[in-house]
Chain A
């Protein structure tokens, strides 16, 4: 999947040395493919094609865990993995929005815990209908984000301080809400529980999603190609489009087959994919998304171009708070409860660190202006694979903490190194 900001519409293939007169047109697709391969190799060397390295790392992780425990790559475990990534993944998508404007939101773990508790208290203790409790819980996340954003954008308090304070405040509020009742079990047949428990049993569902995704990709790529061609501009070769489509189809259908061998397509995964597609589209293809990237690239430049910097900042924290709340509902759904224990765990920062690690591992930069929601999919699969593998092997929490922290540190270090490599090339 693409990363690295709103360059050419689709991703890594765009970096080819395209000449002004659209030279690619005149050559055979084999040449283009060879050139593309060279591009990719140069990209890896320059630290720009991070995703390929991450995919290679993921394959290694999977092979190692499969070697240690042959249940790791079973349809059952992979299917569970695809559900478990969603809570953290949604939180991480919110983090991506904030990272893109070169800020950070440290409160997302607490906010997700707060949303889960707010839902449970409203629905179970006060008998509020589930749909309404869900809306209120998500709105709480949005409001908390707006609160952080206003403190940051208009009062000028550094975002990490605002959200660090928020981490404690919202965790305290969660414990306060749950204090009276202790652990609250949510309805196991209800709407929120089904977020993670529902699977589309019909095999057709998973195949249809895989086919739709592939077809959507190829149609969009071909339409873009013909528009570029009509405008007399360089365009991707047929071969490259088909190669990318082929890879996508292989991954999508392999996933569908695997999921169908267990319980079918999980609802949670479908929701996650929809969130990724929508947020990626907004960031890359809309005027609003362009402002977000601009802010991450240069606040002063954005301001002089007439962008309302403060408003965009507040909006990004609202997105982050909202997605943290939605992710929190998925976490509560997976546990079918909200409890002081899980609230304390949320406050301890495990979810926060996993979410940041997921975003950064996938290639979203901590230094702003570079990244994509799709990076989260890759990153969260890595993070959750490590967690799942260690869980299967019965590794104790203490060791898991150290390993997760180490992975985050490694990802951030790689980000910093790649930034330096780019700065070296960028500024002669």
Chain B
């Protein structure tokens, strides 16, 4: 393998009191690849995202970044490595406009005075480059549709030029057309060489945009599939536990996925 994965997790274990949230979970993602993370409610998807984003570090396990061992103990660590997360609630300031949200916490200024023109110019360029259609970057995000808000949240997460993007159920609140715009955006971002981990319940989205799909069940790996060769039924049976043997579902040509 010429390039090691951007991010590789091995043997991640996390326990909340008496509950084993994650047991020996492995996951890896390469640049320019979308890995979907599927699983039923409570399967540990969100816990895994929190481990990667540093919100709630793992108890045991190894994290490798571009082949090197790293520690992610705080959100700041993840951020410094180049991991950006878009949470389901988006965490936007509804009263601020698109530009204000994009640059929140990283405003362009001269001695404390905001350079609105430069920020607006960059915001427009970014929206244009990502083919995001927003009526006006100066409208408060409260006035945007759910899909537009999601798109703004994703583009905000790209501001720091990250290498790995975590998306937590980005299409959950979207209609059909908005979902298709969002999937276009995800592909656009992937084609720029970003590694994307996409949490989703929606098999259609997974089939449409992901390259591989990793299934979690009851906090354990329960299958890793190549999306081009797997059927929705296989994924679903893996999610629901109808097929519990992970090894049987190992995808072709991905031998070192399970060390």
Contact = CB atoms under 8 A, between A and B. Distances in A.
B20 interface: no
Contact of A233 (B101, B106, B117): B117
B109 A287 contact: yes
Given A5-B140, A7-B140, A8-B138, A20 B93 contact: no
Interface in A345-365: none
A425 B91 contact: no
Nearest to B143: A426
Nearest to B133: A20
Given A287-B107, A300-B89, A426 B94 contact: yes
Interface stretch (B120-128, B180-188, B207-215, B243-251): B120-128
Given A5-B140, A301-B104, A302-B104, A228 B117 contact: yes
A17 B92 CA distance: 23
A126 interface: no
Contact of A293 (B96, B105, B124, B144): B96
Given A20-B128, A288-B112, A302-B104, A233 B121 contact: yes
Interface string A391-426: 000000000000000000000000000000011011
B105 A17 contact: no
A330 B140 CA distance: 37
A428 interface: yes
Interface stretch (A55-63, A205-213, A303-311, A378-386): A303-311
B145 interface: yes
Nearest to A306: B105
Interface string A214-248: 00000000001001100111000000000000000
A18 interface: yes
Interface string B102-137: 001111010011101110110010001000000110
A34 interface: no
B104 A287 contact: no
23 contacts: A7-B97, A20-B128, A233-B117, A285-B114, A286-B113, A290-B104, A290-B107, A293-B95, A293-B96, A297-B92, A297-B95, A300-B89, A301-B93, A301-B104, A302-B104, A304-B75, A307-B104, A369-B93, A369-B95, A422-B142, A425-B143, A428-B145, A428-B146
A419 B133 CA distance: 26
Nearest to A289: B114
A298 B100 contact: no
A141 interface: no
A415 B100 CA distance: 23
Interface string A163-191: 00000000000000000000000000000
Contacts, number: 106
Contacts of B140: 5, 7, 426
Contacts of A306: 105
Classify chain A: how many residues form its interface, as a range.
35 or more
B131 to A, nearest CB: 12
Contacts of A6: 96-97, 100
B116 A9 contact: yes
Most chain-B CB neighbours within 10 Å: which of A232, A285, A298, A428?
A: A298
Contacts of A297: 92-96
Interface in B225-243: none
Interface of B: 75, 89, 91-97, 100-101, 104-107, 109, 112-114, 116-118, 120-121, 124, 128, 135-136, 138-140, 142-146
B91 A304 contact: yes
Contacts of A227: 117
B91 A301 contact: yes
A18 B105 contact: no
Contacts of B142: 422-423, 426-427
Contacts of A428: 145-146
Contacts of A231: 117-118, 120-121
Contacts of B92: 297-298, 301
Contacts of A300: 89, 91
A425 B107 CA distance: 28
A370 interface: yes
Contacts of A17: 135-136
A233 B113 contact: no
Interface in A252-292: 285-288, 290
Contact of A20 (B106, B109, B113, B124): B124
A290 B124 CA distance: 20
Contact of A369 (B94, B109, B116, B135): B94
A425 B105 CA distance: 27
A302 B95 CA distance: 12
A5 B91 CA distance: 18
Nearest to B135: A17
A285 B113 contact: yes
A3 B114 CA distance: 18
Contacts of A369: 93-96
A194 interface: no
Contacts of A370: 95
B91 A286 contact: no
Contacts of B106: 305
B41 to A, nearest CB: 22
A296 B140 CA distance: 13
Most chain-A CB neighbours within 10 Å: which of B94, B139, B145?
A: B94
Contacts of B121: 231-233
Contacts of B100: 6, 290, 293-294
A14 interface: yes
Nearest to B75: A304
A15 B140 CA distance: 10
B145 to A, nearest CB: 6
Most chain-B CB neighbours within 10 Å: which of A227, A288, A305, A370?
A: A305
Nearest to A9: B116
Nearest to B128: A20
B136 A18 contact: yes
A108 B89 CA distance: 36
Contacts of B139: 7, 15
A35 B28 CA distance: 54
Interface in A11-49: 14-15, 17-18, 20
B114 A286 contact: yes
Contacts of A305: 104-106
